[in-house]
Amino acid sequence: MPEGRKTYVHRFSRSERAVHWIHAAAFFVLLGSGLVLYLPSLAAIGNRAFVKDVHLYTAIAWALALLGVVLFGDRKGLRRTLSDLDGFDLDDRLWLQRHPTKQGRFNAGQKLNAAVTAAFAVLFAVSGILLWYGERDTRFRFAGTIVLHDGLMWISLVLLAGHLYLSLIYPRTRHALRGIVRGDVELQWAREHHPKWVQDVLASTQPSSEDKAEAQARG
């Protein structure tokens, strides 16, 4: 390898990146339109009925787009990602206690963030459907629905601020943004932050003993 040239390792497939950016784009539109509907100081921006339609149809488009990726994208890769995020081992628990441990493709913080994001998405959808349906049928109007929906929004704002700080500002972690934009990350950075994953990747690319024996026999 020429001196000064960086080596990159593939981290996310197109389908995995599509899920992330669909969710991110929809979240920002939903957040903006939701704030206009929620805050009196922003109520004068645009037509309220139009903003409410934007909020509703963005949520529908978000769900359909994610379904489309699952149906027509790299389902094997998405299942692998789900398995990686769902696997929570001793190293993850130690990492959360600030002990220096080796991490896989996702560290424990990213796994927790994914779990919280998925839970919030479900709660947003359920409470949003109840709010929408409650305007048409009073039997579905519950006192806690709007409190839940609004509470999720404010908590999500805090989580978003932390996510943006780590991905755009904090020097040690902002390189990860390349992975979700271009699909690959620098090998040296990955070795520092996700050594267990790099070890698995490199092991899978090394020829097996049988392959080596066959190559020697051919030679």
Angle at 105 between CA 101 and CA 111, to 5 degrees: 80
Name the percent of the chain lying above pLDDT 70: 90
Higher pLDDT, 122 or 37: 122
Here the tokens at position 157 are 């704002």
Name the percent of the chain lying above pLDDT 90: 63
- The answer to whether residue 174 is domain-embedded is yes
* Residues forming a β-bridge with 184: 10
Res. 133 pLDDT band, cuts 50 70 90: confident
What local confidence, expressed as pLDDT, does residue 216 receive? 45
- The answer to whether residue 44 is domain-embedded is yes
Cβ 201 vs Cβ 9: under 8 Å:
yes
- The answer to whether residue 3 is domain-embedded is no
Of 8-17, 130-139, 205-214, highest mean pLDDT: 8-17
What local confidence, expressed as pLDDT, does residue 4 receive? 58
Domain housing 93: 8-218
- The answer to whether residue 47 is domain-embedded is yes
Phi, psi torsion values for 99, nearest 5 degrees:
-90, 140
- The answer to whether residue 195 is domain-embedded is yes
In the chain, the number of structural domains is 1
- The answer to whether residue 1 is domain-embedded is no
What local confidence, expressed as pLDDT, does residue 210 receive? 45
pLDDT at residue 55 tops 50: yes
Residue-wise pLDDT tens digits, 77-94 = 899 999 999 988 898 999
What local confidence, expressed as pLDDT, does residue 36 receive? 86
Phi, psi torsion values for 185, nearest 5 degrees:
-135, 160
User: What mean pLDDT, rounded, does the chain reach?
Assistant: 87
| In the chain, beta strands by DSSP E | 8-10, 184-186
Residue-wise pLDDT tens digits, 158-205 = 999 999 999 999 999 999 999 999 999 999 999 999 999 999 888 877
Res. 49 pLDDT band, cuts 50 70 90: confident
Element spanning 110, H or E: helix 108-134
Q: Which pTM was predicted?
A: 0.83
We report the CATH number of the domain holding residue 92 as: 1.20.950.20
Q: How many residues does the chain have?
A: 219
- The answer to whether residue 138 is domain-embedded is yes
Residue-wise pLDDT tens digits, 106-121 = 999 999 999 999 999 9
- The answer to whether residue 151 is domain-embedded is yes
Res. 206 pLDDT band, cuts 50 70 90: low
Torsion sign, CA atoms 113, 116, 119, 120: negative
